[in-house]
Amino acid sequence: MEKHHKADYQKLQNRGLTGRNNIEYLADDDLIAAANAALALQMPLLLTGEAGCGKTDFAFAAASQLTDGRLEEAYVRSDTVAQDLLYSYDSIRRFGEAQIDPDAAPADIREYLQLNALGKGLCSTDPPVVLIDEIDKAPRDLPNDLLRELEQGSFEISELNQSAVSCEMPINIDDPLTYKKVMNRPDNVRKPFIVITSNVERQLPDPFLRRCIFFHIRFPDESQLLKILEARFPNQQPLFLQRTLTIFQHMRGVSNITKKPATSELINWAEVLCYEDSEKKLEVIERSIQDKSRVSWSDLPGLCCLIKLREDREALGIVD
């Protein structure tokens, strides 16, 4: 393992974090500690938690401090393979150009290569933060196929022949003609800070987990949720925000709901409420909760922002 002095790496501070759209990101101190452990060890940070809890936004927030907002994003799909995160080879364009005019087509195959998010992060002289989002959506082999890349910080471009590519010129991520068979991290450059998110739709392989720093983002408590609402809606009355939160918390507490609304859905709902004349309806719902009487959820404005399953609507007594 590489040895580094304490001053060799940046540390995240739990202040001044901004997520997407320059909105303040309120992080748990334990999350910041886990991120700083990942930075010190040059290991990926694997974040889990229910959908909408802020896993992806944390990568944007980390980039706001560590790299002046520079972030490379890779969004994993069910057909994503390891190469897709590292680089792309446009064989179709190469074939098409060769068919149209064989003499005009570039002879160097590197003209058809492009580095993707993880490849750029590993080979950059000034690494950005790299986000690999929802890795649990990928085929099971993908996490294990990334073990060498994540641990060593290098990868191979299978389409290139070692003997056919000059190794004299240093790699420039924006110049494909500098790419080599083996793409190594620049000398004396730390690995990028890699944030990997998972909704835990399936278990990730143990060898992959051993190479990550792990943190589970817990659902915020009431005081944290209120701070999130205050940060997002600074011009709204405290009573309105507290009433919104009371109703939201009560809905999440309904035991037979399958998909409980998450933080992102609370924010979307509150934004919709700001555009509607909803104060009186919210007051009626809140009074029912306080009196422990039956809540008429069908009267709740913006309900479509919170409840996403038909069976959950039925659980709340809403008849379509």
Residue 1: inside a domain? no
**pTM listed for this prediction:** 0.88
What pLDDT, on a 0 to 100 scale, did the predictor assign at position 89?
Answer: 93
Q: What is the mean pLDDT of residues 40-68?
A: 94
Do residues 58 and 195 lie in contact, with contact meaning Cβ atoms separated by under 8 Å? yes
48 with 193, same domain: the answer is yes
Q: Within this chain, do residues 190 and 47 fall inside the same structural domain, yes or no?
A: yes
- The pLDDT tens digits of the residues spanning 82-96 come to 999 999 998 888 787
Give the closest residue to 62 by CA, choosing from 43, 85, 39. 39
Whether residue 239 sits in one domain with residue 200: no
Taking residues 9-26, report their average pLDDT.
87
- Rg over CA atoms, the chain: 24
CATH number, residue 205 = 3.40.50.300
Are 176 and 273 in the same domain?
Answer: no
171-221 residue pLDDT tens: 999 999 899 999 999 989 999 999 999 988 788 999 999 999 999 999 999
Q: Nearest Cα to 131, choosing from 196, 183, 181, 83?
A: 196
Domain contains 142: yes
216, 246, 275: which is the final residue of a domain?
A: 216
Give the domain extent around 159.
6-216
Tell me whether residue 320 is in a domain. no
181 plus 231 within the same structural domain: no
What was the pLDDT predicted at 241?
Answer: 94
- The tokens 């009186």 sit on which residue? 280
> How many domains in the chain?
2
Same domain, 211 and 68: yes
